[in-house]
Amino acid sequence: MATISADSLQDLRKTDQLLGGVFTMLSDPDLRVIRPYKMEHEMGGVTVGDMGYVIIDREGRIRKHAVDPLFGRSADAILQSLKGLQ
């Protein structure tokens, strides 16, 4: 599992230290990965990445896509939805 963020690499390093290296974190400040999955929105005239998740299977098919600003608090529900995809 990897986290993709529009944050700079420097900011992600700080976040990684705070979280203790729990996730692989990828920096995408130009939204090259985020944009094709429609995980972005405008805020104050600037395009920013959405909080949420995209689950992609081994064949590259999108199995689930959700904008969820509270996805960290929704971890149990996300795991249950993954079990339903199997």
Q: Are 40 and 68 in contact (CB under 8 A)?
A: no
3-state secondary structure of 34: coil
pLDDT in tens, 19-77: 888 778 899 999 999 999 999 999 999 999 998 888 888 898 998 888 988 876 777 87
pLDDT at 2 over 80: no
pTM of the model as a whole: 0.71
First vs last C-alpha separation in the chain = 17
Question: 86 pLDDT band (50/70/90 cuts)?
Answer: low
Euclidean distance between CA atoms 41 and 2, whole angstroms? 21
